[in-house]
Amino acid sequence: MPRDEVLRYEEIAAVVRAGLQLEISHVRLTGGEPLVREGLLDLVRILSGLSGLADLALTTNGVLLADQAQALRAAGLRRINISLDTLRPDRFRHITRFGEITEVRRGITASLEAGLDPVKLNMVVVRGVNDDEIADLAALTQSLPVEVRFIELMPIGGYFSREKFVPAAEILSSVERLGALSPAASAAGCGPARTFCLPDARGKIGIISAVTQAFCASCNRLRLTATGRLRPCLDDEQAVDLKPALRPVIDEDRLAALIRTAVAAKPEQHAMAERDTGALRTCMAGVGG
């Protein structure tokens, strides 16, 4: 898209400042891949310097992370999520279509050394693609102080099918081959994961069951797109356009009003389970206590 359609950093900062007026205190930079955007460190510095911001995080594929982790931490980034759907080099190239898993492993190490905390590794579990590696990913928590989070495949973007879907109950069963899981306190942040620990593990296991056990009732997320649209729900194309409050001049009072409008529009429940997965939610009965 034309570059002038994309929000400038000062505009993103204005949205965050308006959110801070409304006690929105956690910000995550995501994408796409945020580490390819020119001047990202400048945005991190701007946001981390805003009064009232309690947490600043970033989600990345990890390929470019090793060379940027220290600088991101110095600029004010507090924690990081790294997408890691496999530990096998050939499978990594097949899934991502570029890069090497060794680069991601370097990024994980660099993030830990930089003091980013927590470091979370996100695996979207897909049957027939990587579900045979659930225990292997979980085993990383036995030697590393990371949180490995297993995420149910969501019916977004046209990739979903029932045959590919692995419910959270089955994921946890695979993890428990390594040992009994005990509940654990959630790491920093306000995310939807339920967390567990393996015996004597240095890290934690997280499970995000957006389909079979929706957390809509406690969802406190809004997504700001690169073009300035504020989406109340990831599963809904409905959005509030913030650009009229950003251009030609920034009006933070109007921004705050538009953010309130978006919050008020959050749906009571997404329709993932009903639309594409039937009654899969019943698979979670009794899991996690």
Output the six-digit token pair for 263. 């919050």
Q: What pLDDT is stored for residue 189 in this prediction?
A: 52
Average pLDDT rounded to a whole number, residues 147-159: 85
User: DSSP class of residue 126?
Assistant: B
Query: Does residue 232 fall inside a structural domain?
Result: no
Query: Does residue 45 fall inside a structural domain?
Result: yes
Query: Does residue 29 fall inside a structural domain?
Result: yes
Whose structure tokens read 């990594």? Answer: 92
Q: What pLDDT is stored for residue 271 in this prediction?
A: 62
Query: Does residue 85 fall inside a structural domain?
Result: yes
CATH of the domain at 79: 3.40.50
Query: Does residue 93 fall inside a structural domain?
Result: yes
d(CA 217, CA 232): 13
Query: Does residue 166 fall inside a structural domain?
Result: no
pLDDT at 274 over 90: no
Domain that holds residue 36: 25-117
Query: Does residue 74 fall inside a structural domain?
Result: yes
Whose structure tokens read 């945020």? Answer: 34
The whole-model pTM stands at: 0.89
Nearest Cα to Cα of residue 272 among 200, 213, 219: 213
Please confirm whether the linkage preceding 118 is cis (ω < 30° from 0).
yes
Query: Does residue 108 fall inside a structural domain?
Result: yes
Average pLDDT rounded to a whole number, residues 167-182: 96
Q: How many domains does the chain have?
A: 1
Q: What is the pLDDT of residues 227-258, one digit of tens each?
A: 999 999 887 788 999 999 999 999 999 999 99
Nearest Cα to Cα of residue 220 among 97, 55, 92, 75: 55
Nearest Cα to Cα of residue 151 among 131, 127, 177, 122: 122
Give 220-225's long-range contacts (Cβ < 8 A, gap of 24+): 220/190, 222/24, 222/259, 222/262, 222/263, 224/7, 224/12, 224/15
Q: Please check whether residue 43 is in contact with residue 12, taking contact to mean a CB–CB distance below 8 angstroms.
A: yes
